[in-house]
Amino acid sequence: MHTPRALKAAGLVLAAVVLGLLTVQGTYALWNSAVNSNAGTVQAADFRVSLTDGPTNTTTDMTVNGLPATVALSTTPIGVVIPGQSVYAGVQLGNVTNAGGDFKIRATAGTPGITDSSGSGFASVLSVKAVAADTLAQCQSAALYAGAKNMASVDIAKNMTGVLCFQVTLDASAPGRLQGKSAGISIPLTVDQL
C-alpha cells in the first residue's frame, strides 16, 4: 500500500497533539472530591381569595387570569324598599392558599360607589354601611350595623374565611318622585397579605 507523504505527516501531527493534550491533562489531575447539596427547589405559594355571595352561595375567585373579578351580590329579598328601611347583602371571603408558613390576609371593603341608572338622583338618598361578621347569616341583623361606617375590613387566617356585610338604607326623607328608580352600588374589595 502506498501512503502519501502528506497523509503520514498529518497523522504524525495528530498523534503529537493527542499525546500533548493527554500530557497536559495529566499534570492537572490532582485529588478532588465533590458532593451535591441536594437542596431541591423552593416554590412560591399561590395567592387565591374566593368570594361567595350569601343568598346564592355563588363562588368565584377574586382574580381570574390575574385580573380582578366581579361578584354580583344578591340582596336579602325583603321586598320593596321604602324610605327609612334597609336591604342587606354579604360576601364571604376565603383565604385559599397553599402557603407553607403563616399566611394571614386582610380584606377591606372600600368606599362604595353609588350611581344612578337614569340620572334621577336616587343615589343621593342611598347610604351603605359595611361591617365584618363571622357568618353570612349575620348580615341580615340590623343590630350588627350599629356604629358601622361605610368601610370595613376583616382579617382572615390561612385556609379560613371571613365575612363582610353591607346594609343599604334608603333615606327616610326620600321624595316620592324616586319611586321605581334604581341605582347601582359598587364596593371595591382589596386584600392584602399581613
Partner 1 sequence: MNKMVKGAIATGVGVVLLVGGGGTLATWNQAQSASMGSVVSGDLNLEVNTATNSGKWTNAAGTVVDVKAYRVVPGDTLTYTQDLKMTLTGDLMAAKLSLTGAGANTGFTPASVVVSATALNDKSVTASAPSPISASTVLTPAVNGHLVTASTTFTFLASTSNRDSINQTYDFKSVGYKLEQQAPVSANAQ
The binding site for partner 1 (CB under 8 A) comprises: 26-27, 30-47, 63, 66, 97-101, 103, 193
Q: How far is the CB of 24 from partner 1 (least distance, A)?
A: 10
Task: Calculate the alpha carbon distances from 18 to 9, 10, 194 in Å.
Answer: 14, 12, 65
Comparing CB distances to partner 1, the nearer of 158 and 181 is: 158
Minimum CB distance to partner 1 smaller for 65 or for 173 = 65
- Contacts of 85 by beta carbon, 8 Å cutoff, 6+ apart: 78, 169, 170
Task: Yes or no: say if 51 and 95 are a contact pair by the CB < 8 Å rule.
Answer: no
The three-class DSSP label of residue 88 is: strand
Q: Which residues of 12-41 are buried (b: 16+ CB within 10 A; e: fewer)?
A: eeeeeeeeeeeeeeeeeeeeeeeeeeeeee
CB of 66 to partner 1, least distance (A): 7
Q: How far apart are CB 102 and partner 1 at their closest, in Å?
A: 8
Nearer Cβ to partner 1, position 1 or 39? 39
Q: Give 1 or 42: the residue with its C-beta nearer to partner 1.
A: 42
Say how far apart CA 103 and CA 193 lie, in whole Å. Answer: 7
Closest separation in Å from C-beta 22 to partner 1: 12
Please report the sign of the dihedral spanned by the C-alpha atoms of residue 64, residue 54, residue 108, residue 71. Answer: positive
Which is closer to partner 1, CB of 7 or CB of 29? 29
Which candidate, 86, 96, 83, places its Cα nearest to that of 139? Answer: 86
Nearest distance, CB of residue 104 and partner 1, angstroms: 10
Q: Which residue lies nearer to partner 1 by CB, 3 or 27?
A: 27
Contact yes or no for 75/53 (Cβ under 8 A): no
User: Residue 91 Cβ, how far from partner 1 at the closest point, in Å?
Assistant: 20
